[in-house]
Amino acid sequence: RIEVCDRGIGIPLKQQARIFDRFYRVDETRTRSTGGAGLGLSIVKTLVEGMGGNVKVRSQLNQGSIFTVCLPLQC
C-alpha cells in the first residue's frame, strides 16, 4: 500500500467520485495555461487497475487529501 498525502484545499465530497475521470478538473477556472490537463489521476487509475490494484481518495475541505494505492503482492 502506498499513500500520498497533501495539506491542500481538499476536494468537495460530491466531486471526489469524478476526480479519476479523464479531463475532469475540480477547479473549473483552471486552464492549460494555469496548469493541468485533467489526465494525471485517470492515468494513475488505469495503470493501477491494470496491475490488479485500486486507488482511492479521502479528502476533507481545508484539510487536504490522502490518495491510497493498493497493489497485490507477487513473488
pLDDT digits (tens, 9 = 90+) for 31-65: 566 567 788 899 999 999 999 999 999 999 999 99
What is the pairing mode between strands 64-70 and 2-6? antiparallel
Q: What is the pTM of this model?
A: 0.80
CB distance 64 to 7 below 8 Å: yes
What percentage of the chain exceeds 70 in pLDDT?
Answer: 87
CATH superfamily for domain 2-70 = Histidine kinase-like ATPase, C-terminal domain (3.30.565.10)
Q: Which three cell numbers stand for residue 37?
A: 490537463
CB distance 42 to 56 below 8 Å: no
What is the domain partition of the chain in residue ranges?
2-70
